[in-house]
Amino acid sequence: MRTEHIAAVLLAAGTSSRFGEEDKLMATLRGKPMAAHVLETVASMAFAELVAVTRPIDEAPVIHRKLDRRGYSIIVNDRPQDGMSGSIVRAVRHVMPNRDVRGILICLADMPDVPQTHYNHICLAAEDIRSVVASTDGFSSSPPAFIGRKHFPELLALRGDQGARALLSHGLQIEAPAGILRDIDTPDDLATAG
């Protein structure tokens, strides 16, 4: 499916509890904030809409500015402790009224090494509004992932931090090049990613 029919959804509202006191999305990786790697890559593509779900502006002022400058619609998740599902529900509610959007591409702000080519592979593998296309490292399904509009009601019913894992496990699996699906959860992860 062409990216012009897809809303890119960047999930950036996590509490980063395993990272310590510092905001992990603003931690420096290869000369810029970690989240900047993802938001810039996604913004460089021709999506129907760019949507970011993040914490309130007083908790994350820098990322709000960066997202705004790149043209993202910013959705605030004021209950990040409810897990990834709360962010997905907010994003789906936001894009549902736009009937031109045939699905969403879920991207994680703490996965800085995913290249544009992999996002493209996921989108191109999606055939229609019934499609579910997940990334895989050969063992498990994960974002980045496309979820077609037909599954929006199922996404709206999500609860907890598992996100859409069950749905993704039944979708088409696109093998990712080694290492690109690594997410940064701890300072040690950041050190090895640098």
Determine the pLDDT at residue 130. Answer: 97
Question: Which residues are CB-contacts of 91 (< 8 A; sequence separation ≥ 6)?
Answer: 7, 9, 11, 51, 53, 75, 104
The confidence score (pLDDT) of residue 68 equals 94
Q: What residue numbers bound the domain in which 94 lies?
A: 3-193
- The pLDDT tens digits along the chain (194 residues) read 999 999 999 998 865 555 556 676 777 778 888 888 899 999 999 999 999 999 899 888 888 999 999 999 999 998 877 778 999 999 999 999 999 999 999 999 989 999 999 999 999 999 999 999 999 998 889 999 999 999 999 999 988 766 688 899 999 999 998 888 887 665 565 566 66
What is the reported pTM? 0.91
Return the pLDDT at 38.
Answer: 92
- CA distances (Å), origin 49, targets 6, 64, 105, 119, 137: 7, 17, 10, 15, 28
pLDDT of 7 reads 98
Instruction: Say which CATH number the domain at 76 has.
Output: 3.90.550.10
What is the tally of structural domains in the chain? 1
Q: Copy the structure tokens of residue 74.
A: 């910013």
